[in-house]
Structure 1
Amino acid sequence: MKKIILFAGALLASGVANATYFQAPEMDDAKVVNPDSTGFTFTDVKIIPTTPVKDQNKSGTCWAFSGISTIEDDLLRRGKGELDLSEMFVVRNAYIDKAKKYIRTNGQINFAQGGSFEDVLEMTRRYGAMPEEAYAGLNYGEKKHSHYEMADALKSYLDAVMRNGQRTKKLTTAWLPGFIGILDAYLGAVPENFTYKGKTYTPQSFAKEIGIEPDNFEIFTSYTHHPFYEKFALEIPDNWLWSENVNVPLADLQAITDNALDKGYTVFWGADVSEGGFKWTDGYAVNPAEKEEKDMTDSELSRWVKLSDKDRSSERFKIKGPVKEKEITQELRQQGFDNYETTDDHGMVIVGYATDQEGNKYYKVKNSWDTNQVYDGFFYVSVPYFLEKTMNIGVRKEAIPASIAKKIK
């Protein structure tokens, strides 16, 4: 992952080296801004029904919140009602499977809080699902998620198990129950059965009853170091599952997103949110073009040449409304990935699109950083930001344009 940076106050690091998705910034009501002060006026054009904004709080589990939200939205679209599914049931199962792989690979995979949309699909496929009321994952005296202590304890425990196993050439039979015991202490033990709306379920029977369909989703990315229209395992630390994305040209990545929204599907969005143009408290993310000296007035140029390189860089992100943005090419996108400039930071859900006061298009995005923000937990992402800083997207297979689907090998 990209180094942790500061924006709109302190972003909370996950506490693990090379750790994962950003966590929610600590905010209070005093930091909520007035939309009129941002310089932007957004008009929603197409908005897909979505379940309420949640709060991952001090946990690096945005992948679970955004993945579960995508599934909840799909169930809502299919007439299954508004469900509140448990993110921590997915997180718990992912931790167990990740721990087994970490031990088997001698610690050569990333063991941290982060993950991907495919983790949500795979854990649901393997283990089912539970409603939030049956498994909230808050068994440690907190009202909101806070995973610092648990994540450190799990990683330290596994490293101790691995050192002992390497020394004795044998793993004890207690290591996995011990690991699960830590999860039980923090998240709570998973009941074999639970009652929901007067009916008793197992996690598997519940997932089947409500109609979760993990096999009917596809994940897409867009990079030139692999062939287009074929699958490959995206080379990012959090891809411990080694799951594969379909690789498509950049124009197709946008076309799939637009087609999904037009047809009434929300879209999982994995992206880099550590850029200067990502303004969470102001409710937008833009990708300003570099300032060109040839476009400056004499007075602007006189001031510009006296600035340090750092100050010139910060000038690019002093935004007071719609700005000229970068033209994004496939080559520029690839360069950003290869140079660690675009990294796997955060998982969110695209729920529609809008325009600003100058007619520029934006995607409306649901976050999992609570609602104490200018647009109650939503924000607007410009197309140039999306094109350069998207890591991957996840959509229902029915949302893929037919002309693109037939090219996929």
Structure 2
Amino acid sequence: MKKRLLVTFIFLVTTVAVYAQNKPKDQASYLEYKNEFFKKVEESSEKYWNKPKTEKKQYKANFDGIDIPKSKEEFKYYWHNDPKDYPQGNTGTCWAFSGTSYFESEVYRLHGNKIKLSELYTAYWEFVEKARGFVESRGTSLFDHGSESNAVERIWKKYGIVPQISYTGLGNGQQYHDHSKVFSEMSSYLDGVKRNNDWNENLVVETIKAIMDHYFGAPPAKVEVDGKWYTPTEYFNKYVNLNFDDYVEFQSTIKQPYYKYCEFEVPDNWWHSKDYLNIPLDEFIATIKNSVRNGYSICIGGDVSEPGIDGIAQAAFVPEFDIPSEYINEYSREYRINNGSTGDDHGIHLLGYLEKDGKDWYLIKDSGSSSRNGNDVGYYFYTEDFVKLKMLSFMVHKEAAKDILKKVTAVK
């Protein structure tokens, strides 16, 4: 009997060892870059601007064998404007699109009103504020395309907001947003300001506005809604009517003390906002999971320049050749932040969840071009592991994070 048990044990150990050696692993290869929607954007821009296109390859994981949700309808998700008609095109304004989408959903959740707001109105005034910061810092403050989702709050507080139909930011005959020329012109101008020490703030701001007015059109001073005229601030107060003190930004990094508000140290936080509550990674993920299960969508951002994300597959996962799931923790996450392989390069709107095989998949609304090549235009499906490893910050209503906020030992 003992001999038989020993033989059986040896057989099982051998079988497990052979299986472990032969277990299929995630693979990857260099593939021709395929983004049919961005191809349309490029072709439209080429026609509009008369500029050539370029070809490139990307290192991509093999999605064969990954059990990806088939449709967004498998998810429980919350009201939002359909992303199909509102792509960001060839711009770096994902922060404005994701932040705007998030607050549109919040208006519906809190007030029951469905509104569509102008992303380019916010981007216009953010460029103005960046130009102002450039002058005040004597050219050391970053002037670039990107920003953070809480810039939407800052801009709306100062300048108000208008309906999307009142300000599209598109030129006559322009189908998709393309900021390559306007940004190049603004950057060249500011380079000259710095080179010649022409630090006249009013002149610089008015020149930046004049450049944008040429490409985008000037933002409206008043808008007509329901037969009445409103300034952007009046429209914000009446139709948006959100208290931004009710929203909290979170990050998770071992570089800063936990349960303290601190700076989100990325280039797009160009104004050095210190309004980010730093929490441990386990609580970072738990807050996301609990929020989306209790009626709240989330504005979130992080790194999407990964082999494990693909627009045709419409999904994002962490391949084993990057890191096995069981090794994803605050240290492996921080390692990637520290070496630059995780950066803050995209803002998105997390709308809902699907629990599958004991872990979450998240429904993502994405204004970027790569999200427009799958069956559900404007959406991605992210695994829980991808969010845990690659997403750096998120914003949610404070009622969704009451337990975490009780642990805060300092105030803003």
Q: Is the structural similarity TM-score above 0.5?
A: yes
SS in 1 for 2:108: helix
> Which of these residues, 129, 137, 140, is aligned with residue 97 of structure 1?
129
Take 2:137 and 2:100, find their aligned partners in 1: how far apart are those partners?
A: 28
Aligned pair 1:242/2:272, yes or no?
Answer: yes
Aligned pair 1:9/2:44, yes or no?
Answer: no
Q: Which residue of 2 aligns with 1:336?
A: 336
**Cα offsets for 1:181-238 (capped at 9, x unmatched):** 1111111112221101212100000000011332221110000111001111111111
Q: Which residue of 1 aligns with 2:226?
A: 197
Q: Which residue of 1 aligns with 2:379?
A: 378
Q: Which residue of 2 aligns with 1:147?
A: 179
Conserved 8 A contact 1:8-1:279: no
SS in 2 for 1:264: coil
Structure 1 position 45, deviation (Å): 4.4
**Cα offsets for 1:377-406 (capped at 9, x unmatched):** 212111111111011001111111x32111
Q: Which residue of 1 aligns with 2:39?
A: 26
Structure 1 position 325, deviation (Å): 3.4
> Which of these residues, 318, 326, 330, is aligned with residue 287 of structure 1?
318
Matched residue type, 1:40: I
Runs of 4+ in 1 over 6 A off after TM superposition: 35-38
Q: Which residue of 2 aligns with 1:263?
A: 294
Conserved 8 A contact 1:122-1:214: no
Take 1:220 and 1:391, find their aligned partners in 2: how far apart are those partners?
A: 8
Structure-to-structure mapping, 1:310-389, within 5 angstroms: 325=325, 327-356=327-356, 358-369=357-368, 371-389=372-390
Take 1:280 and 1:8, find their aligned partners in 2: how far apart are those partners?
A: 13
Q: Which residue of 2 aligns with 1:118?
A: 150
**Cα offsets for 1:233-279 (capped at 9, x unmatched):** 11111111211211000011112212221221110110100111112
Take 2:351 and 2:141, find their aligned partners in 1: how far apart are those partners?
A: 33
| 1:162–1:201 Cα change, 3 Å | same
Structure 1 position 109, deviation (Å): 2.2
SS in 2 for 1:174: helix
Aligned-pair Cα RMSD in Å: 2.5
Structure 2: 5+ residue stretches without partners: 1-29, 42-62
Structure 1 position 173, deviation (Å): 5.3
Number of residues of Structure 1 aligned to a counterpart in Structure 2: 351
SS in 2 for 1:260: helix
Structure 1 position 359, deviation (Å): 4.8
Q: Which residue of 2 aligns with 1:254?
A: 285
Conserved 8 A contact 1:50-1:73: yes
| Larger relative helix fraction | 2
Take 1:121 and 1:60, find their aligned partners in 2: how far apart are those partners?
A: 18
Matched residue type, 1:390: M
**Higher RCO structure (Cα 8 Å, ≥6 apart):** 1
Take 2:289 and 2:299, find their aligned partners in 1: how far apart are those partners?
A: 13
Structure 1 position 11, deviation (Å): 7.6
Q: TM-score, normalised by structure 1?
A: 0.80
Q: Which residue of 2 aligns with 1:320?
A: none
Conserved 8 A contact 2:118-2:163: yes
Q: Which residue of 1 aligns with 2:237?
A: 208
| 1:212–1:345 Cα change, 3 Å | same
Conserved 8 A contact 1:44-1:355: no
Structure 1 position 140, deviation (Å): 5.4
SS in 2 for 1:26: helix
Take 1:27 and 1:165, find their aligned partners in 2: how far apart are those partners?
A: 41
Take 1:342 and 1:142, find their aligned partners in 2: how far apart are those partners?
A: 34
Q: Which residue of 2 aligns with 1:218?
A: 248
Take 1:360 and 1:44, find their aligned partners in 2: how far apart are those partners?
A: 14
Q: Percent identity?
A: 28
The range that moved more, 203-212 or 365-374, is 365-374
Higher Rg: 2
SS in 2 for 1:352: strand
Q: Which residue of 1 aligns with 2:49?
A: none
Conserved 8 A contact 1:109-1:237: no
> Which of these residues, 90, 93, 118, is aligned with residue 58 of structure 1?
90
The range that moved more, 98-107 or 40-49, is 40-49
